[in-house]
Structure 1
Amino acid sequence: MSRKRSYECGIDAAIDVIEGKWKVLVLWALDTGEKRFGELRRGLVGVSEKVLAQQLREMEADGLVHRHDYAEVVPRVGYALTDLGRSLNQALAPLGEWGARNQALIEALRADSPERVNAADSGPRHG
């Protein structure tokens, strides 16, 4: 996968770093501290081993996570956030709050039901 080298703006750079369904979820999972690969996989329902490994490699290359190889008889690897990864989590916190506040509306709008139109019309108007 080729990664962009120059960006139009900060949002472009940020989206490039977090693109993909699992990266933001990995960031949130690591917010509480180092996790082993298996812990991450069990906590991220639906992610395949291959995709998780690829996403972690990209996040490591982007400086968001640190891979710690423990020198033990039974090999063990842990993943933890770097300072850059922690700062990205802080930047994503308001987005998570927005999602939590609007989750029911988003689900209703995406559902194929009569509530879809009513939910869209009930929101606040700005202008």
Structure 2
Amino acid sequence: MGSDVPYRRRVNEAVAVIRGRWTIPVLTALALGEVQYKELLAHINEEESRAKADPDDPPLSDRVLTDTLRRAREHGLIERRAEKRPSERGRFTTTWYRLTPAGRSLLRAVRPLADWAEQYSQRS
């Protein structure tokens, strides 16, 4: 039997886009709209701590979130908006992120995979 399934290459490309422990949590956190960077980090860590199966898993760090957001931007899944604002100590930049249409489309596409995973986990 041949292993050259017609869609194999495309599936591998899609998996490469969603690779990484934090890609899906970041995308789902942005599903409701534009979120400021610090709020995004806090929201994801709160959600993960509530649903955590392994309490020894480390929380999402600034560095990992930044890397995940950069990769998602490179893939066209999210947009970044930065705004300089005045403060008592000078100016600072506030950064927001939101899903692009491609990011929303990806979330819709992975939903059946999540449903499959739920059914598969119930087999054990």
Q: TM-score, normalised by structure 2?
A: 0.72
- In structure 1, C-alpha distance between the alignment counterparts of 2:119 and 2:68, rounded to whole Å: 28
Q: Deviations over 1:49-105 (max 9, x none)?
A: 1000011011111111100112432421100001111110110112233344555x3
- Determine which structure has the larger strand proportion and give its number: 2
Q: Which has the larger radius of gyration?
A: 1
Question: For residue 125 of structure 1, what is the aligned residue in structure 2?
Answer: none
Between the two proteins, the alignment pairs up a number of residues equal to 100
- Larger RCO: Structure 1 or Structure 2 (Cα < 8 Å, ≥ 6 residues apart)? 2
1:65 lines up with 2:67 in the alignment: no
The within-5 A match list for 1:48-59 is: 48-59=61-72
Matched-pair identity in %? 32
Output the amino acid matched with 1:59: A
Output the amino acid matched with 2:83: Y
Change (3 A) 1:44 1:87: same
Root-mean-square deviation (CA, aligned residues, Å) is 2.0
- Between 44-53 and 89-98, the greater mean CA deviation after superposition: 89-98
Question: For residue 35 of structure 2, what is the aligned residue in structure 1?
Answer: 35
Q: TM-score, normalised by structure 1?
A: 0.70
- Between 41-50 and 14-23, the greater mean CA deviation after superposition: 41-50
Change (3 A) 1:38 1:91: same
- In structure 2, C-alpha distance between the alignment counterparts of 1:36 and 1:101, rounded to whole Å: 35
Change (3 A) 1:40 1:100: farther
**Structure 1: unaligned runs, 5 residues or longer:** 1-7, 106-118, 121-127
